[in-house]
Chains A and B, each alone.
Chain A
Amino acid sequence: MFRKVKQIHISILLVLMISIFLAGCNSKASENTPEPSTVGNPSTTVGDIKTLRLSWPKDIGPLNPHEYTPNEFFAQGMYYEPLIDYGEGGKLVPKLAESWDISEDGKQYTFHLRQNVKFSDGSDFDSSVVQKNFDTILANRDMHSWLGLISQIEKTEAVDAHTFKITLKNRYYPALQEFAVVRPLRFLGAAGFPDDGNTAKGIKSPITTGPWVLSEYKKDDIAVFTRNDNYWGTKPKINTIIIKVIPDGEARVLALEKGDIDLIWGEGVISLDSFVSLRDSGKFETSISDPVASRALIVNTAKGPFADLNVRLALQHAVNKQALVQGVTNNVEKAADTIISSNFPYANVGLKPYDYNLETAKSLLDQAGWKLPDGKTIREKDGKPLEIELVYMGPDQIEKPMAAAIQSDLKQIGVSLKTTGVERELRNKRMETADFDLLFWGTYGAPYDPHSFVSTNYEPGYGIFESQQGLSMKDELHQQMKDVLLTVNEEERQKLYTSIFTTLHEQAVYLPISYLTNIAVYPSYVKDFKFPAHRDETPFDSIDFQK
């Protein structure tokens, strides 16, 4: 009896020791977390304080407006403001610039800055701080060369306290649109700059003119944003935003079901199966945005069977896109007929879609000399089988099943498709060196397209230019792409875009598959949710709660 009591004592002691050990190990970790009244509390409205809780797969990053990863796009987008905003249908809306003038030659942009705008530290937003931001951006031109505007800027000048002038080397029509991008053209307060003024090495603190201010932050765990009550514009209806880092999509769904978060929003933040399951549960509101970008296969015309137009055209007719988007994305993505969706500027050019027709595809392959020998399942030409390779990003949850479905589609017309899943860096390397027959790729989306799309087509280095080397009209096509960015006349610009899109479509250098969309899931008390037109902007400013 005594022994039994002693053993129970030992067990209790052990449990206590473990508890103390675990609690002791983490006492420091809990010091920085926000107050319990907001975090982990099922109620998101306490008194008049409205707190929106959501999760993101990664940490928000250091909130440096001029840098890339590990800064998260959405965090930079919600935090910092541009001179010009990208609104509905690509309409350009004044933001930190109240108005702007463009010189007749299209090279000088004069911005009239909004007055009485303060940074979160109380300092003034004026042309000197705009100059300071442009100085560091231009000091790191190489890093930003992907953005056409940056390489076109010749000089910048603070004309007076509220007038700022930018001179370009050449005319560049998408300049205004590119002032709306999230990075690097947004503005940090002067006190946030490092001593040498070069933000490429980091910032001192995230000082913004925007509607939100970072009030608490624990790396890889949580970020709390509080409404900036001195904000110059329309103030958001909610007071606080809490962003928790939840890397796993399924765990994010469970967090929503538990009431730990109030919103799931974004591209690829949860599996599309989970999205459909949440939608069908009837417990949440769900919505899908208009197309924000395109998912396509780049077809390498420079080598192999796809050097022949008929083989490229056969591919267009052989892939059942409708079945792909339904089977793999549950129709969350929309089947794509053209490389740029017609809701983008200059992209509604009336191209005739290629229909899904296996007989047409087979006949095109016959015309190309790829015949099906008796008793075989793979076509051959000069004794060589018709084998092609599709490169996709191995860990991607959408590309892999899509690759398998395309493989099955092509088998029906006697084409052997080898699908190769590689991780991101290896995939980038293969793309840049055009070492593929087919490769999954996505366009930049709004507000970058269609102009960024054309520049990635004519600029060597990305792998697209290299993959178009098999086109007989490649020089003319790429020249048109360069010319369209220099146009000042709308009619001439539309004419060039029509010609570019028509050539790309007729030459079948892309296999458009689907249009990507943003998804949102939230409980019914979340009101006024609206997808921004800009792919990388956040919907937080319009959201309200009604319980």
Chain B
Amino acid sequence: MNLFFYVIKRLAMMVPVIVGASFVCFLLLRLSPVDPARAYLSVSNIVPTEETIAAVRAQLGLDRSFWSQYGHWLWQLCQLDFGTSFFSKLPVARELAARLPITATLALSSLAIAFIVSIPLGIASALRRNRLIDHMSRLLAFLGASIPQFWLAYLFLYFLSVKLDWFPLQGADTWLHYVLPSCTLAFALIATYSRLLRAGLIEGLQEPFVLYARARGLGTFAVVGRHVLRHAIRPVITAAGMNLGKLFAGAVIVEQIFSMPGMGGFFLESVYHRDYPVIQSYVLIMAIAFVIGNLAADVVQAYLDPRLTQTARKGE
């Protein structure tokens, strides 16, 4: 029950954060030196004169006061209407509906791969300190932290798609299309997670309760799996919560290289065109992704360590 109230409270706290993010984004866009009406005209091949700029400003609703525009946008959002793209003239919601699942799948599959690889790797390198597996894991972490993502993407494409023909080169049609981009994104995460986990496990294995568990006759896997991992994995969960939002927002390069029609390319194009409705919606969705990522991390933390929810309730 404690956990339930904790989640409700955190969900309620999301509202001001998201409204704040929407406001800051709205404000920053309007501080930009380029007038979107002018950008719209240049995209439409119309010579920007005072008259044409005024007409487009009126058409796009940019002639109204800042607060009126912001209020109108919030009101539209309440009705789940994200507005209409200045550029494609299609409803933003429709564009997002086509792209968001691709980016979401990519983000979640990258996280999943990162967990699947880094948990066994972290455990193995903690239990076999300074042995071959630990050195290998260190090397992997070093590579993961230093190899540029775009280069890794090209290496994967060249060797695994062009040379060996194991995976398709471009698109997002089947699960096979997601393997290489997900691995590209997961590579850097594996480096971080496996090292975090290793450090946490090594620290945890020194705790008195481990000695007690061993004294009870529990085997290594039981000690690590049931007791130590529960503590050691917490920093990894926190990092994953942060990364979820980043993966949603920052997969632009990977999406472009693997020709995945996700959110990245769409957002980039909208920035070029000063497509306010798209930029605003994108920032809003990214804010939600960050908040939900952190919330999910906190909920898992609270599940792993119920003391956290108690602290939260006491703090009320």
Point out the residues of chain A lying under 8 angstroms from B43, CB to CB: 68-69
In the bound complex, CA of A246 to CA of B158 (Å): 15
With both chains docked as a complex, state the minimum distance between the C-beta of A379 and any C-beta of chain B, in angstroms. Answer: 32
Give a binary string over B106-133; 1 marks a CB under 8 Å from any A CB, 0 the rest: 0011001100100000000000000000
Point out the residues of chain B lying under 8 angstroms from A18, CB to CB: 109, 112-113, 116
In the bound complex, CA of A245 to CA of B172 (Å): 11
Point out the residues of chain A lying under 8 angstroms from B171, CB to CB: 221-222, 244
Give a binary string over A127-144; 1 marks a CB under 8 Å from any B CB, 0 the rest: 000000000000000111
Query: Are A459 and B47 in touch, CB under 8 angstroms?
Result: yes
The residues in A between 247 and 264 inclusive whose CB is less than 8 angstroms from any CB of B are 247-248, 250-251, 254-255, 257-258, 260
With both chains docked as a complex, state the minimum distance between the C-beta of B169 and any C-beta of chain A, in angstroms. Answer: 5
Point out the residues of chain A lying under 8 angstroms from B274, CB to CB: 425
Of chain A, the residue at the smallest CB distance from B258 is A251
With both chains docked as a complex, state the minimum distance between the C-beta of B89 and any C-beta of chain A, in angstroms. Answer: 7
With both chains docked as a complex, state the minimum distance between the C-beta of A370 and any C-beta of chain B, in angstroms. Answer: 32
Give a binary string over B88-114; 1 marks a CB under 8 Å from any A CB, 0 the rest: 110000000011011001001100110
Of chain B, the residue at the smallest CB distance from A6 is B221
Known contacts A219-B261, A260-B169, A425-B39, A144 near B162 by CB under 8 Å: no
Of chain A, the residue at the smallest CB distance from B102 is A29
Identify the stretch in B70-78, B173-181, B194-202 within 8 Å (CB) of chain A at 4 or more residues: B173-181
Point out the residues of chain A lying under 8 angstroms from B221, CB to CB: 3, 7
The residues in B between 155 and 176 inclusive whose CB is less than 8 angstroms from any CB of A are 157-158, 161-162, 165, 168-175
Q: Which of A30, A143, A250, A258 has the most CB of B within 10 A?
A: A258
In the bound complex, CA of A136 to CA of B99 (Å): 33
A115 within 8 A of B: no
Residues of A within 8 A of B (CB): 3, 7, 11, 14-15, 18-19, 21-23, 25-26, 29-30, 33, 40, 55, 68-70, 142-146, 201-202, 219-222, 244-248, 250-251, 254-255, 257-258, 260, 423-426, 428-429, 432, 459, 461-462
B257 within 8 A of A: yes
With both chains docked as a complex, state the minimum distance between the C-beta of A182 and any C-beta of chain B, in angstroms. Answer: 12
Of chain B, the residue at the smallest CB distance from A246 is B259
Interface size band for B: 35 or more
Point out the residues of chain B lying under 8 angstroms from A254, CB to CB: 154, 157-158, 161-162, 169
Query: Are A251 and B157 in touch, CB under 8 angstroms?
Result: yes
In the bound complex, CA of A222 to CA of B170 (Å): 11
Point out the residues of chain B lying under 8 angstroms from A202, CB to CB: 89
Query: Are A26 and B45 in touch, CB under 8 angstroms?
Result: no
User: Besides the contacts A15-B116, A26-B178, A69-B44, what 6 more A-B pairs have beta carbons closer than 8 Å?
Assistant: A22-B109, A25-B101, A143-B44, A220-B99, A251-B170, A260-B169
Query: Are B168 and A423 in touch, CB under 8 angstroms?
Result: no
Known contacts A25-B101, A426-B33, A258 near B169 by CB under 8 Å: yes
Point out the residues of chain A lying under 8 angstroms from B45, CB to CB: 68, 143-144, 146
B52 within 8 A of A: yes
The 4 closest A-B pairs by CB, nearest first: A220-B261, A22-B175, A461-B47, A30-B173
**Residue contacts A-B, CB under 8 angstroms, 26 given:** A3-B221, A7-B221, A14-B116, A15-B116, A26-B173, A29-B172, A30-B173, A30-B174, A55-B170, A68-B45, A69-B44, A70-B87, A70-B88, A142-B52, A144-B45, A221-B172, A221-B173, A244-B171, A251-B259, A254-B158, A255-B170, A425-B34, A425-B274, A428-B42, A459-B47, A461-B49
The residues in B between 256 and 277 inclusive whose CB is less than 8 angstroms from any CB of A are 256-259, 261, 265, 272-274
Query: Are B154 and A250 in touch, CB under 8 angstroms?
Result: yes
In the bound complex, CA of A462 to CA of B52 (Å): 14
Point out the residues of chain B lying under 8 angstroms from A246, CB to CB: 170, 259
In the bound complex, CA of A132 to CA of B175 (Å): 47
Of chain B, the residue at the smallest CB distance from A260 is B169
Point out the residues of chain A lying under 8 angstroms from B49, CB to CB: 461
Of chain A, the residue at the smallest CB distance from B219 is A3
Query: Are A423 and B272 in touch, CB under 8 angstroms?
Result: yes
Query: Are B272 and A69 in touch, CB under 8 angstroms?
Result: no
Of chain B, the residue at the smallest CB distance from A20 is B175
Point out the residues of chain B lying under 8 angstroms from A424, CB to CB: 272
In the bound complex, CA of A166 to CA of B176 (Å): 56
Prevailing SS type, chain A contact patch: helix
Partner of B33, one of A15, A29, A429: A429
B46 within 8 A of A: yes
Known contacts A219-B98, A425-B42, A19 near B168 by CB under 8 Å: no
With both chains docked as a complex, state the minimum distance between the C-beta of B1 and any C-beta of chain A, in angstroms. Answer: 29
In the bound complex, CA of A22 to CA of B42 (Å): 41
Point out the residues of chain B lying under 8 angstroms from A144, CB to CB: 45
Of chain A, the residue at the smallest CB distance from B163 is A258
Point out the residues of chain B lying under 8 angstroms from A70, CB to CB: 87-88
Q: Which of A15, A144, A425, A432 has the most CB of B within 10 A?
A: A425
With both chains docked as a complex, state the minimum distance between the C-beta of A418 and any C-beta of chain B, in angstroms. Answer: 18
With both chains docked as a complex, state the minimum distance between the C-beta of B185 and any C-beta of chain A, in angstroms. Answer: 14
With both chains docked as a complex, state the minimum distance between the C-beta of B44 and any C-beta of chain A, in angstroms. Answer: 6
With both chains docked as a complex, state the minimum distance between the C-beta of B186 and any C-beta of chain A, in angstroms. Answer: 11
In the bound complex, CA of A324 to CA of B169 (Å): 34
Of chain A, the residue at the smallest CB distance from B161 is A258
Point out the residues of chain A lying under 8 angstroms from B35, CB to CB: 429
Q: Which of B112, B165, B173 has the most CB of A within 10 A?
A: B173
In the bound complex, CA of A275 to CA of B261 (Å): 26
Partner of B175, one of A26, A68, A461, A462: A26
B234 within 8 A of A: no
In the bound complex, CA of A202 to CA of B33 (Å): 30
Partner of A244, one of B101, B154, B170: B170
Query: Are A258 and B172 in touch, CB under 8 angstroms?
Result: no
Point out the residues of chain B lying under 8 angstroms from A40, CB to CB: 168
B48 within 8 A of A: yes
In the bound complex, CA of A32 to CA of B28 (Å): 39
In the bound complex, CA of A348 to CA of B287 (Å): 59
Query: Are A429 and B173 in touch, CB under 8 angstroms?
Result: no
In the bound complex, CA of A423 to CA of B171 (Å): 28
Query: Are B219 and A429 in touch, CB under 8 angstroms?
Result: no
With both chains docked as a complex, state the minimum distance between the C-beta of A275 and any C-beta of chain B, in angstroms. Answer: 17
Known contacts A257-B162, A462-B47, A250 near B261 by CB under 8 Å: no
Partner of B174, one of A26, A142, A251, A425: A26
Partner of A247, one of B113, B158, B259: B259
In the bound complex, CA of A250 to CA of B162 (Å): 12
In the bound complex, CA of A7 to CA of B219 (Å): 14
Partner of B259, one of A15, A25, A244, A257: A244
Query: Are A429 and B38 in touch, CB under 8 angstroms?
Result: yes
With both chains docked as a complex, state the minimum distance between the C-beta of A466 and any C-beta of chain B, in angstroms. Answer: 12
Query: Are B174 and A146 in touch, CB under 8 angstroms?
Result: no
Of chain B, the residue at the smallest CB distance from A30 is B173
In the bound complex, CA of A220 to CA of B261 (Å): 6
Point out the residues of chain A lying under 8 angstroms from B116, CB to CB: 11, 14-15, 18
In the bound complex, CA of A168 to CA of B62 (Å): 37
Point out the residues of chain A lying under 8 angstroms from B273, CB to CB: 425
With both chains docked as a complex, state the minimum distance between the C-beta of B300 and any C-beta of chain A, in angstroms. Answer: 17
Q: Which of A22, A145, A462 has the most CB of B within 10 A?
A: A22
Query: Are B178 and A247 in touch, CB under 8 angstroms?
Result: no
In the bound complex, CA of A30 to CA of B38 (Å): 39
Q: Which of A70, A201, A247 has the most CB of B within 10 A?
A: A247
Point out the residues of chain B lying under 8 angstroms from A255, CB to CB: 169-170
With both chains docked as a complex, state the minimum distance between the C-beta of A112 and any C-beta of chain B, in angstroms. Answer: 30
Query: Are A248 and B256 in touch, CB under 8 angstroms?
Result: yes
Point out the residues of chain B lying under 8 angstroms from A244, CB to CB: 170-171, 259
Query: Are B161 and A29 in touch, CB under 8 angstroms?
Result: no
Of chain A, the residue at the smallest CB distance from B261 is A220
Point out the residues of chain B lying under 8 angstroms from A257, CB to CB: 162
Point out the residues of chain B lying under 8 angstroms from A425, CB to CB: 34, 38-39, 42, 272-274
Q: Which of A7, A21, A29, A462 has the most CB of B within 10 A?
A: A29
